[in-house]
Structure 1
Amino acid sequence: MRKRSHGSRAVVAVTAAAVLGAAGCDVVGGDGPEASDSRTRRATPSPTPVWDSSPASIAAVGDSITRGFDACSVLSDCPEVSWATGGSAEVNSLAVRLLGASKAATHSWNYAATGARMADLPAQMALAATRKPELVTVMAGANDACRDSTDAMTSVVDFRAGFEEAMRTLRRAAPKTQVYVASVPNLKRLWSQGRTNVLGKQVWKLGICPSMLGDADALDAAANLRRETVQKRVEDYNAVLREVCAKDPRCRFDGGAVYAYRFGTDQLSPWDWFHPSKNGQARLAEIAYRQVTARSA
């Protein structure tokens, strides 16, 4: 009986010690090191995301597409309908969608130039950087592929060097500026859509993108090879844009969205059947807005 009692007291003692030990952990509560660490972890604010989907200012660089060339009248720029910075209600540009119409008029700048190639982008970036914009849009490369011949197209090596230099130029002056990079459009689709229009083909004969659009009705082996060569070069350019952009945490490539867009004749200028019409500019603005405001690239 006494042995049983002694054993019971031992069990009670062990149990009490365990309870007190547990209670001791609870007592430490807010003052113990573990709780302090936990509080510190909870109090630490989450880091500011690298990509801000609501930039407060925008600058655009690139070529005639971003200048709205031939969208309003023949052989003239029309930046008012630019997909990137235009104020036209018909287009509802990226700047208007992000900033609102009134703010877009004072906080967006268009440094693109008709006829520009990738080699011209560093100088445009230098100008854009002076504004310290929160976002720069890039659309360039079509003129590098649209040359008098396939031999005259910008090499992939030079295209890469030009884009890398443009990014370095921006980063030296505006290290925190975000960059949205649109892919080079599908020039072969441009040929397949535009060649259905007799007037369009006559305009092309004036020298619009000869490497792809020259002799538009020819379907012989040489013509097909020429077009495939241009198309491959465009795809290589897009690979460069993707790769260079991926190295910069504040750069977002469109993933080939512009290249993949299945545009029709309604999206082409009625004056040259090459540049985007106002409708085409609006579609480019839609694509850009989706990419810029997406939670991830």
Structure 2
Amino acid sequence: MRKRSHRSTAVRAAVATVTAGVLGVTALTACDATGDNSPGPKGSTAAAKPSPKPTPTWDTSPRSVAAVGDSITRGFDACGVLADCPEVSWATGSDSGVNSLAVRLLGKSRARTHSWNHARTGARMADLPLQMEQAGAQRPGLVTVMVGANDACRSTAGSMTPVAAFRADFERALRGLRSEAPKAQVYVASVPDLKRLWSEGRENPLGKQVWKLGICSSMLADPDDVDTAATARRDAVQERVVAYNEVLKDVCAKDKRCRYDGGAVFGYRFGEQQLSHWDWFHPSKDGQARLAALAYHGVTAEEPPA
């Protein structure tokens, strides 16, 4: 009996030792498999799950369009003298010869019911916050902005809108839109090159006569005068337009759903055919069509214009 008891005790001890060793190996293996502060075994073939693609911030096919801005977006003087002609607006017009941005994006039928033009002739940047509020109330997929020419086109160069005020009003306009329509996209067109407007229009005798009525006097007054003072005046206006465009670009860049046109409108080399023959200042119907094409390219590009 004593020998059998001794043998049983030895067997139990051996079994306990083996069991402990197995459990230790199992625990170690489990720790490695779960990656608990330890690297996985070399040569692991476990495939990592692919990360889901992020939702693109910019939608190249918005379902509705609202436009804000000034007389250019109202089609002023494109169809008749001293009159708005919104049907030829580059942004929301219905005229087939223009093929507006809204028509290109939505189709002609849908554009009639899902696009709105809140621009106003004579508007300046200070008027944009109210227009943005009106546009935002309709929860548009896209808001187009073209404003700033009237801030530079004043009776004198000294009365142009200060750059700081221009910036503050644009920032306020975007904040107002975001309170109404936080997910709306914004496409901002640059201010046109007013000095090119002078250089092109001054070749036309009729245009120069019309300009004497007081159209954009800061740039267009005395179009044949090229003395030092006149040149300095036009250069000051040009510099202000460039500064406005820098503001548009900078403020827009801080909003993830805003896209600046990269200076496409400012850089467009328009000629007499793109100018209204009523005032040699606003875009003609052909000019509106060119603006629509520039905007469509900018909105539908996968990457924002450089």
- Shorter-chain TM-score bucket reads 0.7 to 0.9
Deviation at 1:45, TM superposition (A): 3.0
Match of 1:77 in 2: 84
Q: Tell me the alpha carbon deviations over residues 189-210 of structure 1, each in whole angstroms, 9 at most, x when there is no partner.
A: 0000000110100000001000
In the TM superposition, what are the counterparts of 1:16-31 in structure 2 within 5 Å? none
1:145-204 residue CA offsets vs partner (Å, 9 max, x unmatched): 000001100000000001000000001111110000000000000000000110100000
Separation in structure 2 between the aligned mates of residue 35 and residue 209 of structure 1, nearest angstrom = 71
Q: How many percent identity over aligned positions? A: 68
Secondary structure of 1:136's partner? strand
Whether 1:292 aligns to 2:302 is no
Q: For each residue in 1:92-125, what CA deviation from the matched residue of structure 2 results, as whole angstroms up to 9, or x when unmatched?
A: 0000000000000000000000000000000000
CA distance in 1, matches of 2:131, 2:214: 26
Match of 2:20 in 1: none
Check if 1:68 corresponds to 2:91: no
Residues paired across the two proteins, number:
265
1:203 paired with 2:210, answer yes
2:120 — aligned with what? 113
Deviations, residues 25-82 of structure 1 (Å, cap 9, x unaligned): xxx9xxx9977772xx33x531210000000000000000000000000000000000
Verify: 1:131 aligned to 2:138, yes or no. Answer: yes
Radius of gyration: which is bigger? 2
Q: How is 1:1-12 mapped onto 2 (pairs within 5 angstroms)?
A: none
User: Is 2:59 the partner of 1:52?
Assistant: yes
Q: Distance in 1 between matches of 2:45 and 2:243?
A: 55
**Matching residue of 2:198:** 191
> SS where residue 137 of structure 1 aligns?
strand
Cross-structure match for 1:263: 270
Q: What one-letter code is carried by the residue in structure 2 that aligns with 1:179?
A: V
TM-score norm. by structure 2 comes to 0.84
Q: Structure 1 CA distance, aligned partners of 2:46 and 2:133?
A: 49
Q: Which amino acid aligns with 1:47?
A: P
Q: What is the letter of the counterpart of residue 172 of structure 2? A: E
Q: 1:175 aligns with which of 169, 182, 190?
A: 182
Q: In structure 2, the residue corresponding to 1:128 is in which secondary structure?
A: helix
Could you tell me how far apart the structure 1 residues matched to 2:52 and 2:148 are? 41
Q: Residue 59 of structure 2 aligns to which amino acid in structure 1? A: D
Whole-angstrom distance in 1 between the partners of 2:100 and 2:46? 50
Change in Cα spacing, 1:36 to 1:124, as seen in structure 2 (3 Å) is farther
State the alpha-carbon separation in 2 of the partners of residues 272 and 190 from structure 1: 11
Q: Aligned partners of 1:136, 1:239: CA distance in 2, in Å? A: 20
2:105 maps to which of 98, 110, 132: 98
Uncovered stretches (5+) of structure 2, i.e. residues with no partner = 1-28, 34-39
Amino acid at match of 1:158: A
Q: CA RMSD in A?
A: 1.6
User: TM-score, normalized by length of structure 1?
Assistant: 0.87
Match of 1:231 among 217, 220, 238: 238
Counterpart AA for 2:235 = E
> 3-state SS of the aligned residue for 2:73?
helix
The unaligned stretches of length 5 or more in structure 1 are 1-23
1:86 maps to which of 89, 93, 96: 93
What letter is aligned with 2:98? V
CA distance in 1, matches of 2:276, 2:130: 28
CA distance in 1, matches of 2:81, 2:232: 31
Which runs of at least 4 in structure 1 moved beyond 6 Å after TM superposition?
Answer: 32-37
Residue matched to 1:9? none
3-state SS in 2 of match to 1:123: helix
2-side partners of 1:227 and 1:196: how far apart? 17
Higher helix share: 1
